[in-house]
Amino acid sequence: MRQFASAVSRGFFAFAAVLFSPYNSRVRILFVQNNGIQESIGIANLSGILKAHGHETDLLLVSHTPDLIGAITRYDPGLIAFSALTGVHHSLEQLAVQIKQHLNIPIIVGGPHPTYSPDMIDRPGIDIICRGEGELAMLELAEAMEHGRDVTKIRNLVVKTRNGAIHRNDIRPPAPLDELPFPDRELYYKYKFLRDMPMKRFISSMGCPYPCTFCHEPVIREMYRKETKSDYLRRKSVPRIVAEIRYIAERYPLNHVHFSDDLFFIRNSYKWLEEFADVYGRQVGIPFNCNIRYDSVNQHAADLLEKAHCYGAAVGLESGSEEIREVVIKKRSKNENIVEGARLLREKRIKVLTTNMIGLPGETLDNAMETVELNMRLKSDYVRANTFLLFPGLPLVEYARKMGFIDKDFDIDKQIAESQEITLKTPYAKEFRNIASLFWLMVKCPPSWLPFLKKVTKLPDNILFRILGSFNMTQELLFYRVRPIPALRYFKNTVMMTGKSKLNMTMRTIPSLLRRKGDGTELLGQKEIYEANRGYF
What are the residues binding ligand B12 (CB under 6 A)?
35-37, 40-43, 45-46, 81, 83, 85-88, 108, 110-113, 116, 130, 133-135, 137-138, 203, 215-217, 260, 262, 386, 389, 391, 505-507
Rounded CA gap, 496 and 161, in Å?
Answer: 38
Rounded CA gap, 510 and 473, in Å?
Answer: 13
Nearest-approach distance from CB 95 to ligand SF4, in angstroms: 30
Q: Is 9 exposed, middle or buried, given 0-12, 13-18 or 19+ CB atoms closer than 10 A?
A: exposed
140 binds, among ligand B12, ligand SF4, none (CB under 5 to 8 A by kind): none
Rounded CA gap, 308 and 304, in Å?
Answer: 6
Secondary structure of 469-498 as H, E, C letters: HHHHHHHHHHHCCCCHHHHHHHHHHCHHHC
Nearest-approach distance from CB 258 to ligand SF4, in angstroms: 16
Pick the closer one to ligand SF4 by CB: 161 or 337: 337
Nearest-approach distance from CB 406 to ligand B12, in angstroms: 17
Pick the closer one to ligand SF4 by CB: 331 or 351: 331
Pick the closer one to ligand SF4 by CB: 257 or 263: 263
Cβ proximity of 396 and 359 under 8 Å: no
Rounded CA gap, 206 and 265, in Å?
Answer: 11
Task: For residue 207, give the nearest of 174, 242, 158 by alpha carbon.
Answer: 174
Nearest-approach distance from CB 295 to ligand SF4, in angstroms: 10
CA distances from 15 to 8, 10, 23, 148 (A): 10, 8, 14, 16
Pick the closer one to ligand SF4 by CB: 211 or 511: 211
133 binds, among ligand B12, ligand SF4, none (CB under 5 to 8 A by kind): ligand B12
Q: Is 208 in the site for ligand SF4 (CB under 6 A)?
A: yes
Rounded CA gap, 477 and 474, in Å?
Answer: 5
256 binds, among ligand SF4, ligand B12, none (CB under 5 to 8 A by kind): none
Amino acid identity of 392? P
If binding means CB under 6 A, how many residues of this protein chain bind ligand SF4? 11
210 binds, among ligand B12, ligand SF4, none (CB under 5 to 8 A by kind): ligand SF4
Pick the closer one to ligand SF4 by CB: 215 or 350: 215
Please give the backbone phi and psi of residue 425, each rounded to the nearest 5 degrees, phi first. -75, 120
Number of H helices, E strands in the chain: 22, 15
Cβ proximity of 90 and 502 under 8 Å: no
Rounded CA gap, 365 and 434, in Å?
Answer: 11
Task: For residue 29, give the nearest of 12, 42, 14, 46 by alpha carbon.
Answer: 46
Which neighbouring-strand residues pair with 451? none
Rounded CA gap, 313 and 264, in Å?
Answer: 9
Considering only residues 245 through 274, tell me which ones interact with ligand SF4, judged by CB under 6 A. 262-263
Q: Is 217 in the site for ligand SF4 (CB under 6 A)?
A: yes
Give the interface segment with ligand SF4, choosing from 215-223, 267-275, 383-391, 479-487 (CB under 6 A).
215-223
Nearest-approach distance from CB 175 to ligand SF4, in angstroms: 20
Q: Is 288 in the site for ligand SF4 (CB under 6 A)?
A: no
Q: Is 42 in the site for ligand SF4 (CB under 6 A)?
A: no
135 binds, among ligand SF4, ligand B12, none (CB under 5 to 8 A by kind): ligand B12
Nearest-approach distance from CB 4 to ligand B12, in angstroms: 48
289 binds, among ligand SF4, ligand B12, none (CB under 5 to 8 A by kind): none
Pick the closer one to ligand B12 by CB: 120 or 372: 120
Q: Is 331 in the site for ligand SF4 (CB under 6 A)?
A: yes
Nearest-approach distance from CB 279 to ligand SF4, in angstroms: 25
Q: Which residues, 6+ apart, have CB-to-CB distance to 165 below 8 Å?
A: none
Nearest-approach distance from CB 77 to ligand B12, in angstroms: 12
DSSP 3-state of 212: coil
Task: Give the residue, chosen from 55, 185, 293, 351, that forms a contact with ligand SF4 under the rule CB under 6 A.
Answer: 293
272 binds, among ligand B12, ligand SF4, none (CB under 5 to 8 A by kind): none
Rounded CA gap, 214 and 223, in Å?
Answer: 16
Residues that bind ligand SF4 (CB under 6 A): 208, 210, 212, 215, 217-218, 262-263, 293, 316, 331
